[in-house]
Structure 1
Amino acid sequence: MADKMSSSSSIVLALLLPLFYGILLAPSFIAATLDTAPATLLQVKSGFTDPNGVLSGWSPESDVCTWHGVTCLTGKGIATGLNLSGYGLSGTISPAIAGLVSVESIDLSSNSLTGEIPPEIGTMQSLTTLLLHSNLLTGAIPPELGGLKSLKVLRIGNNRLHGEIPPELGDCSELETIGLAFCQLIGAIPHQIGNLKQLQQLVLDNNSLTGGLPEQLAGCANLRVLSVADNKLDGMIPSSIGSMSSLQSLNLANNLFSGEIPPEIGNLSGLTYLNLLGNCLTGGIPEELNRLNKLEIMDLSKNNLRGEIGAISALKLKNLKFLVLSENLLEGTIPEGLCSGNGNSSLENLFLAGNNLGGGIDALLSCTSLQSIDVSNNSFTGEIPPAIDRLSDLVNLALHNNSFTGVLPLQIGNLSNLEVLSLYHNGLTGGIPPEIGRLGNLKILFLYENEMTGVIPDEITNCTSLEEVDFFGNHFHGRIPEMIGNLKNLTVLQLRQNDLSGPIPASIGDCRRLQALALADNRLSGELPESFGRLAELSIVTLYNNSLEGTLPESLFDLKNLTVINFSHNRFAGAVMPLLGSSSLTVLALTNNSFSGVIPAAVARSKGMIRLQLAGNRLAGAIRAELGELTELKILDLSNNNFSGDIPPELSNCSRLTHLNLDGNSLTGAVPSWLGELRSLGELDISSNTFTGGIPVELGGCSGLLKLSLSDNRLSGSIPPEIGKLTSLNVLNLQKNGFTGVIPPELRRCNKLYELRLSENSLQGPIPPEIGQLPELQVILDLSGNNLSGEIPASIGDLVKLERLNLSSNRLNGEIPHSLMKLTSLHILNLSDNLLSGAIPAALSSFPAASFAGNADLCGAPVTSSPSSCGAAVRRRLPGAEVSVIVAAIAVVSAAVCVALLYIMVRMWSNWRAVAAVSSSDGEESSSAVAKGGGKWCAGAGAGEGKYWKVGEEKYSSASSSPESAGAGDRKPAS
């Protein structure tokens, strides 16, 4: 018995000894923790940069539990938490942080920390919360974090972390929250995440994750939030997602998911948020979604869903507030049963934009809780229902880009909460009802691109909350409301392209917040009011195509925020200086007014100027060298003024120029060679000046040039072959100069030309056949008024798109090639005043006789009144080889005839006169004609009898209609 007791005592002692040792050692452990925590924290601090000095109180001399951001176990002096969130810290996280073995929570979020997450953190077995999100951390997520067996919250997103999500995170069995959003993570979602039975939130948004949703996620039975939006996930949405019964929020937006929406989602009875927007989902909307009676937000937009929207019922989804089905392929009408109309529906926001829906919108009148309606970009028809005011809570109404007709109902004025009314691009008619003035909260009113008429009601100026008004492209007439200045919050006023008249109201100056004013394309008159100068925030003002006049108010110089000014096509006069107060101008367009004086040097203050268009005024003097300071300039149009002198070399600094138009001035000097350095130039027009010299070969460097017009100058020399380098050229106009030499065959390389004008020069030589290699030539080919010689090349017939051909007033000879018959688009032809001969091809007979005038040796319609004989001769025209054979045969026959005649004269002397007459008509005439050789030969109506005559040496009468009259006898001078 004693032995048994002794044995039992030994066992008890063995069990209790470790406990006794633990009790004995605990104070020393606590002491060690107390001793090492300050030193460890100071090591951590040494890795930080602390610009705000929030850690300045961390000192070995003070109690660690009093240090800023340190939390201690009450009464024990043990550091259990470190919270330095949002203190503006930078630097790195020291690996020494792992020495804080008693710390349960670390929050270093919302700073500017860099470097990598120390893998040593994975040894901190007490850690339950790790918050490092919203920093600048880089590198991969350490797989060592999988060793944090007590970890419940891991939020390290909104950093620059890359690589894959380590599957080791699936070993953190206590994890409840994983936040890895807004990083640069790649690869698949590890299926090991499905092992986390306690997981409640998985947020992986805004990465580059690929693959599908792992089926194993269904093992996360407690998951409430699953958000993987804005990745590259693909495949089908697994039906197993319907077994995640705790799910409250499901966000799969902006991925590449395909297939149909699994109806099993309808099993998620606790779901309040469903977002599947921006995927590649197909099929219809499952009716099972109506079982989600707690759902508040459903967004299925930007997919390829088909069918009708009748599957969704706000009657069943009693808590649904947002229904977003925009940008799908849905069709049909809005179902009558979408809402009940008895107030049971909670639907507040309905977005159906960008589908193929049609019919009317009366069914929406039952959704009395609606605050926002967007059914834009569909095919809805009919009128806006007058009972629209039943939706008394309506804040936003967007019906634009449909086919609504009729008038804007006056009941619209009862929607007192309305802030946005967007009805543009429909077929609305009638006027704006004065009742619109009751919409005191209205901020945006878009009625543009309709067929509305009438005057703009004065009552609109009672809508004092208005910020943007756009009536572009209607038929409003009358005056701009005199009290427009009441709209103190107005930032945009767009009234362009109507029929408004009268002056601009002086009260416009009271719209002090106005940033964009567009009154162009109307019939406004009068002068600009002085009050314009009070629009200090004005950035864009377009008044073009009106009848405004007078000089500009000096007060405009005070508008320092102006970026775009377009006053073109008015009657303004005087100086342009008042428009140059801003140094931020990007566009200054004053084309076709009566501005005078010189270009002020102040124009160069706007270094960001992109377009400077001063064409069609009375500006004079030299072109300012200061324009060369506008290095961002793309369009410079100074055409049709009175500028003189040279083109200033400083313009070579404007290397971004795409359009340079200086035509219609009195500029002199040579065409600058530096123009070839403007590599972006697409249009160069310096025509109608008095430039001299030749075309600089450097222009061949403007490889993107589309239009080159040097016409109507005093240029000379030859056309350089470098023109052929302008392979993008559409228009080449060199007419009315003094160019000599030949047309360079290199022009064939300009195979995008659709307009070529080289007329009224002194070009010589033949028309190069290569000109037929310009397949896009369409508008005109004009080579008239030169000294070109030779034949018209047959290759011109390959210009099948050509509409106008002018080769007049040259020295072209030979026949008109039959290939011109292929020019089926040709409607103007001028071959007059050349040396052409032969028959006019029948296909060209529809052109007037003037097209062929001045060519003495042409025959056939429309030149002669009897084209049939010329036409018959042409049909019998033989090739040169056959003519040679015939000539030889005739010579042999003639010799034989002579011998026969001699014999006959001996035998029948009495009949020699008759025989001689026959010989003269049938032999000598033919022989003499053939012997003359070089002309063009035509077969007449008597060709069957072997009779030929020459055309070209003499002119034959076109009055005779008998075949014989065109023969060797009865010649008459041309009348």
Structure 2
Amino acid sequence: MTSKQCSFVLLVLALSLFLCILVVPVCLATPATAPATLLQVKSSLTDPEGVLSGWSPEADVCSWHGITCSLPGEGIVTGLNFSGYGLSGVIPPAIGGLVSVEFIDLSSNSLSGSIPPELGMLENLKVLLLFSNSLTGTVPPELGLLKNLKVLRIGDNRLHGEIPPQLGNCTELETLGLAYGQLNGTIPAELGNLKHLQQLVLDNNTLTGGIPEQLAGCASLQLLSVADNMLQGSIPSFIGSLGDLRSLNLANNQLTDDIPAEIGNLSGLTYLNLLGNSLTGSIPGELNRLSQLQVLDLSGNNISGKIIISASRLKNLKYLVLSGNLLEGAIPDDLCAEESSLENLFLADNKLGGGIEGLLNCVTLQSIDVSNNSFTGAIPPGIDKLSSLVNLALHNNSLTGALPPQIGNLTNLEILSLFHNGLTGTIPPEIGRLQKLKLLFLYENQMSGTIPDEITNCTSLEEVDFFGNHFHGSIPDKIGNLKNLAVLQLRQNDLSGPIPASLGDCRSLQALALADNRFSGELPDTFGQLTEISVITLYNNSLEGPLPESLSGLKNLTVINFSHNRFTGSVVPLLGSSSLSVLALTGNSFSGVIPAAVAQSSDMVRLQLGGNRFTGAIPAQLGNLKHLHMLDLSSNDLSGNIPVELSNCTALTHLKLDGNGLTGGVPAWLGSLRSLGELDLSSNALTGGIPVDLGNCSELLKLSLSDNHLSGSIPQEIGSLTSLNVLNLDKNRLTGAIPPALRQCNKLYELRLSENSLEGPIPPELGQLPELQVILDLSRNRLSGEIPESLGNLVKLERLNLSSNQLHGPIPSSLLQLTSLHILNLSDNLLSGSVPAALSTFPAESFTGNNELCGAPLPTCRGSSSGRLPGTEVAAIVAGIAVVSAVVCVTLLYTMLRVWSNWRAVSVCSSDNEEDSHGNKRGGKWGAADGKYWKVGSPPASSAEEKHSSGSETSVLHGNSKEVGAGAAKS
């Protein structure tokens, strides 16, 4: 080596040494600079609990709360643990300066902002936990630079965008958690490079596409969870090659096709969840090889066939969930065995049938749900073999028979749901042994008998529902023992007697439904103790008397329905709650004025006070009920005008004020109630015209203004109510014509305009109401003209009343098309002609009072036989006869004239040239007398002479047919 070369080498070594001297202090400076960097991180955070308050430059950084160092005294920061400290703020880019850090845990805080890409500079980082914050933005691709990273959990944030494929470069990664975010796109194929990956958790995002085949490279996977995304395609068969897989969760995606049999190769699998996809085919028998399986959930798919899962082979199986499929057949005998561990069996919402005796082998079962199937037969007495049973749901099947008394031996039972079956018999008193029972649902069966007193021993009961059975008798007197009872539903039975006062001791009661029974007597004063109650429904009973004042203390009431009882007095005790949404008191005998306090609850949506004895005016305060949907004050003795304040109730859908004594006009502001579906102001004393503004109520289904004193014409704007089903304007003083615009109300099925003074013709447009069915009543008006043929188009019409008008002309034959018609009244008009035969089945009263109308069922038309024909056919026959008769007459007259003309010519010629016996001609002339022809100069022959006279002297026109024939022959 030359001296120059040696010099160069020495120079390079010197420079290298110099650089090392410069660099080493930087590397070794980390302990010195770490406190400053950490304080910079702290400055970006809000620390409400003060956990970082001890961080001070004067103190050793390794003593700071949440900081971990490699070795005491060296000051090299290797870990940050601030999990669950309630920190907020952002993660600053300065965190990228902590180059020696191996562990960062900022999880379970309230951090916001994005994940700084500077984290990619922490080449020593092995664990990064940022989950359960409020971080936004995307997953930085720079995280793919962390070659030593083993755990990355940044889920449960608001991260969006795609999963960066660069994460496939973190080849040491063992756990990747990106669940509960807003990530989209596909699962990167590059993740298949993560040979050491044991846990891949991508749940609850919006990932699409299929499960990439490249994941087969993740041979160390133990947990694969991609549930609650939008993944499509089939389940790849390579999953069966992931021999270390312990948990597979593909639930709630859009996966299709069959379950691959290869899953049966995962001998170590303990958890398999495929629920909520669109999987088809049958359950593969290979699943019975998964001997370690503890949870199998295939629910919510389209799997068909029979149940082939054998818990006797899957000895570790605790949860079997097959609900919501298309499975059929019976419960297999080998589903359970005494050596099985099955604790929870869910087979609801399938097409399974047969008996349920096969369940009795599952002695370890704690929960059974086989609801919404077609199981038949009785509940077996051996049900008590399932002594560990906590939940039993057999509802919505076709089970019959009685509830066996052995049910009382299931002393661990908390839920017994048997509703909507065909169970009969009584409730066994043994049910009182179920001290842990919380929910008892027997509704919609055919059970009968009394409610046993023993039920009051079930002191854990929270909900009891016996709706829709045939129970009779009274409510047990000791019902007050059920201190935890929150819901008591006894509606639609045959219970009677008074409501026991002890019910007031059920102070946890929130909902009480005793409607549709035969309860009587007054409400007990103890009801005032039910301070938690929010719903009371007592309608359709025989309860009576005034309401106890104690009810005013029930401040949590939201729904009260006491309709159709015999309550009297004031309603004020019911108005103690300011949270009422429903107050229904229809059909009682409450009296007095309607208190303004009914409007104190701004949440009121239904106020039904119809059918009582309320007097006075409608309270203006009702206008404060901005959310009111139904207001029913009908059939009372209310008076005065309809208050304008009701115009503020813009959410109204039903307004019923009929059957009162209200005066004034129909308010124009009703047209501003655009949600109104029913408006009934009938049977009042309203005057004036029908406001055109009602045409703005485009949602109106029923409009009834009948039985008032309304005048003027029917507004054309009513035709704008294209949703209208019922229009009733009868019994008023309306005038003018029926507006043709009504044809636009093409959903009308009931139209009543009777007892007014309407005039003019019936608009043919009414025949364009295709849904008109219940009735068309135009009677008792002044309508004129003919009945329109178009009414025959109303083929659904059941009742037609056009009586007491001035209609004339025939009954149109088109009415024969009204095949649904069963009531017809055309009486007291000016109709004429005959009744069409097809209408003769209606009584005579349907046609009387039309003097020109005839035919069955009215008297027979003149000149007609007993076999009646329709008017058009009679006219055709008469016309035909007339034509034929005319032809015959003309032909006969023509023939006679020809005969007469020929005879006269021959006869005259014969007479003028007649010869005597000597061969001499004798001349002569003919004359006429008394209708007979005779020769001049000779007197007329007598009758006797005529009979013997010669042909030339015989009277042709006066003779009989033989004489005419003889004369003709001679001529």
Q: 1:10 to 1:868 in 2, by over 3 A?
A: farther
Aligned 8 A contact 2:141 2:164 in 1: yes
**Are residue 779 (structure 1) and residue 780 (structure 2) matched?**
no
Q: 1:874 to 1:220 in 2, by over 3 A?
A: same
CA deviations on 1:282-328 (whole Å, 9 max, x unpaired) are 1111111111111000000011111110x211111000000000010
CA distance in 2, matches of 1:225, 1:70: 31
**Which of 827, 830, 833 is 2:828 aligned to?**
833
**Which of 578, 591, 594 is 1:596 aligned to?**
591
Aligned 8 A contact 1:149 1:174 in 2: yes
- Determine helix, strand or coil for the equivalent of 1:182: coil
Aligned 8 A contact 2:89 2:111 in 1: yes
- Identity, in percent, stands at 72
Q: Which amino acid aligns with 1:727?
A: T
Gaps of 5+ in 2: 905-926, 933-971
- Determine helix, strand or coil for the equivalent of 2:408: helix
**Which of 393, 398, 403 is 1:403 aligned to?**
398
CA deviations on 1:802-834 (whole Å, 9 max, x unpaired) are 000000000000000000000000000000000
Equivalent positions of 1:291-690 (< 5 A) are 291-309=289-307, 311-341=308-338, 344-690=339-685
**Are residue 763 (structure 1) and residue 758 (structure 2) matched?**
yes
Aligned 8 A contact 2:747 2:769 in 1: yes
- Determine helix, strand or coil for the equivalent of 1:52: coil
Alpha-carbon shift at residue 908 of structure 1 (Å):
8.4
CA RMSD of aligned residues (A): 2.8
Aligned 8 A contact 2:835 2:870 in 1: no
Q: Which amino acid aligns with 1:46?
A: S
Q: Which amino acid aligns with 2:326?
A: L
Give the equivalent residue in structure 2 for 1:752.
747
Aligned 8 A contact 1:681 1:702 in 2: yes
- Determine helix, strand or coil for the equivalent of 1:771: helix
Equivalent positions of 1:180-191 (< 5 A) are 180-191=178-189
Alpha-carbon shift at residue 24 of structure 1 (Å):
6.5
**Which of 1, 23, 28 is 2:25 aligned to?**
28
**Which of 668, 681, 706 is 2:701 aligned to?**
706
Q: Which amino acid aligns with 1:282?
A: T
- Determine helix, strand or coil for the equivalent of 1:337: coil
CA distance in 1, matches of 2:363, 2:866: 88
Aligned 8 A contact 1:757 1:781 in 2: yes
CA deviations on 1:76-115 (whole Å, 9 max, x unpaired) are 1111111222222222211111111111111111122222
Q: 1:792 to 1:440 in 2, by over 3 A?
A: same
CA distance in 2, matches of 1:299, 1:108: 34
**Are residue 809 (structure 1) and residue 800 (structure 2) matched?**
no
Aligned 8 A contact 2:837 2:870 in 1: no
CA distance in 2, matches of 1:11, 1:412: 100
CA distance in 1, matches of 2:399, 2:187: 48
Aligned 8 A contact 1:562 1:582 in 2: yes
CA distance in 1, matches of 2:37, 2:143: 20
Alpha-carbon shift at residue 225 of structure 1 (Å):
0.5
Q: 1:712 to 1:893 in 2, by over 3 A?
A: farther
Q: 1:877 to 1:264 in 2, by over 3 A?
A: same
Q: 1:15 to 1:270 in 2, by over 3 A?
A: farther
CA distance in 1, matches of 2:177, 2:321: 27
CA distance in 2, matches of 1:455, 1:30: 87
- Determine helix, strand or coil for the equivalent of 2:450: coil
Q: Which amino acid aligns with 1:584?
A: S
Give the equivalent residue in structure 1 for 2:87.
89
Q: Which amino acid aligns with 2:231?
A: L
**Which of 55, 73, 80 is 1:58 aligned to?**
55
CA distance in 2, matches of 1:499, 1:773: 49
Alpha-carbon shift at residue 598 of structure 1 (Å):
1.1
Q: Which amino acid aligns with 1:509?
A: G
Equivalent positions of 1:886-901 (< 5 A) are none
Aligned 8 A contact 2:836 2:870 in 1: no
Q: 1:301 to 1:16 in 2, by over 3 A?
A: farther
Give the equivalent residue in structure 2 for 1:167.
165
Q: Which amino acid aligns with 1:62?
A: A
- Determine helix, strand or coil for the equivalent of 2:227: coil
CA distance in 2, matches of 1:205, 1:98: 29
Q: Which amino acid aligns with 1:303?
A: N
The farther-off stretch of 120-129 and 402-411 is 120-129
CA distance in 2, matches of 1:169, 1:279: 28
Aligned 8 A contact 1:210 1:232 in 2: yes
Aligned 8 A contact 2:854 2:860 in 1: no
Alpha-carbon shift at residue 346 of structure 1 (Å):
0.4
**Which of 144, 149, 152 is 2:150 aligned to?**
152
Aligned 8 A contact 1:769 1:795 in 2: yes
Aligned 8 A contact 1:860 1:868 in 2: no
Give the equivalent residue in structure 1 for 2:214.
216
CA distance in 1, matches of 2:576, 2:886: 93
Alpha-carbon shift at residue 864 of structure 1 (Å):
1.9
Aligned 8 A contact 1:860 1:870 in 2: no
The farther-off stretch of 103-112 and 791-800 is 103-112
Alpha-carbon shift at residue 212 of structure 1 (Å):
0.8
Alpha-carbon shift at residue 55 of structure 1 (Å):
2.5
Q: 1:850 to 1:176 in 2, by over 3 A?
A: same
Alpha-carbon shift at residue 51 of structure 1 (Å):
2.9
Q: 1:195 to 1:292 in 2, by over 3 A?
A: same
TM-score normalized by structure 1?
0.89
- Determine helix, strand or coil for the equivalent of 2:200: strand
The farther-off stretch of 687-696 and 67-76 is 67-76
Q: 1:22 to 1:499 in 2, by over 3 A?
A: farther
Equivalent positions of 1:87-166 (< 5 A) are 87-166=85-164
Give the equivalent residue in structure 1 for 2:266.
268
CA deviations on 1:742-780 (whole Å, 9 max, x unpaired) are 000000000000000000000000000000000000000
Alpha-carbon shift at residue 26 of structure 1 (Å):
8.4
Larger Rg belongs to: 2
Q: Which amino acid aligns with 1:630?
A: L
Aligned 8 A contact 2:837 2:869 in 1: no
Alpha-carbon shift at residue 17 of structure 1 (Å):
9.6
Q: 1:18 to 1:476 in 2, by over 3 A?
A: farther
**Which of 285, 288, 291 is 1:287 aligned to?**
285
CA distance in 2, matches of 1:19, 1:281: 66
Q: 1:907 to 1:77 in 2, by over 3 A?
A: farther
Alpha-carbon shift at residue 910 of structure 1 (Å):
5.3
Aligned 8 A contact 1:839 1:871 in 2: no
Give the equivalent residue in structure 2 for 1:955.
none
Give the equivalent residue in structure 2 for 1:855.
850
CA distance in 1, matches of 2:60, 2:269: 49
TM-score normalized by structure 2?
0.89
CA distance in 2, matches of 1:477, 1:366: 37
CA distance in 2, matches of 1:908, 1:306: 116
CA deviations on 1:566-585 (whole Å, 9 max, x unpaired) are 00000000000000000000
Aligned 8 A contact 1:466 1:487 in 2: yes
CA distance in 1, matches of 2:378, 2:768: 57
Alpha-carbon shift at residue 785 of structure 1 (Å):
0.2
CA distance in 1, matches of 2:460, 2:201: 41
Aligned 8 A contact 1:701 1:725 in 2: yes
Give the equivalent residue in structure 1 for 2:935.
none
The farther-off stretch of 682-691 and 149-158 is 149-158
Q: 1:113 to 1:869 in 2, by over 3 A?
A: same
Alpha-carbon shift at residue 590 of structure 1 (Å):
0.3
Provide the aligned length of Structure 1 versus Structure 2.
Answer: 897
